Amino acid sequence: MTPEEVLEEFRSAGALLQGHFILSSGLRSPTFLQKMTIFSDPARTERLCRALAEVITRRFGRIDIVVSPAIGGIIPGYETARHLGARAIFVERDPGGPFTLRRGFSIPAGARAVIVEDIVTTGLSARECLASLKDEAGEVVGAACLIDRSGGRGEIGLPLVSLVTLDIPTYSPDALPPDLAALPAIKPGSRAIPTP
């Protein structure tokens, strides 16, 4: 799947939005990728995650376990794992706490794991996911996402592959360009962040 085909999946699903958005990181952006619109369509999700599994295999080889941060990464993690012939597990957090593996999930010795995210903006969720896996016996070999909207600048601590890399600008709330500041801010994501 080419980058343009991936973006067309988002466009045709109405998941590539323009306006003034408050991202889950608290940053502001003129572009928002509403991935849950994508994940509500099983056929579209299957196409994108099959393509992501192919990219993962080319870059990292055999993968035994896909680990995703809850909640946004669970669907793409599961579907990508299905195409890799791997197990799908996830990290989750108690309210206000760090990510942790629960529910009996583990990465046993000899297992090769990859972190699968939906969209990477700053890489924070993937970094927190990786930190929660530091005591696991198996090896976390890399990370993957559908769209890297950081322009390749998101720091994870692992090699990152994606279907598309975009350089979508983000701004702190106190440093908005005038055209963005003139639009009402919308918070379409799910993470609870106070809005200034």
Both tokens of residue 78? Answer: 């599961």
State the pLDDT at residue 122. Answer: 85
State the pLDDT at residue 190. Answer: 56
pLDDT averages per 10-residue partition of the chain, 196 residues: 96 95 88 93 98 98 97 96 98 89 96 96 91 96 95 91 93 95 86 46
Both tokens of residue 196? Answer: 């200034």
In 22-116, which ranges are continuous DSSP H helix? 35-39, 42-60, 74-84
State the pLDDT at residue 10. Answer: 95
State the pLDDT at residue 193. Answer: 43
Tokens 């195409």 correspond to 83
Residues contacting 132, CB < 8 A, separation 6+: 91, 98, 99, 100, 101
State the pTM of this model: 0.89
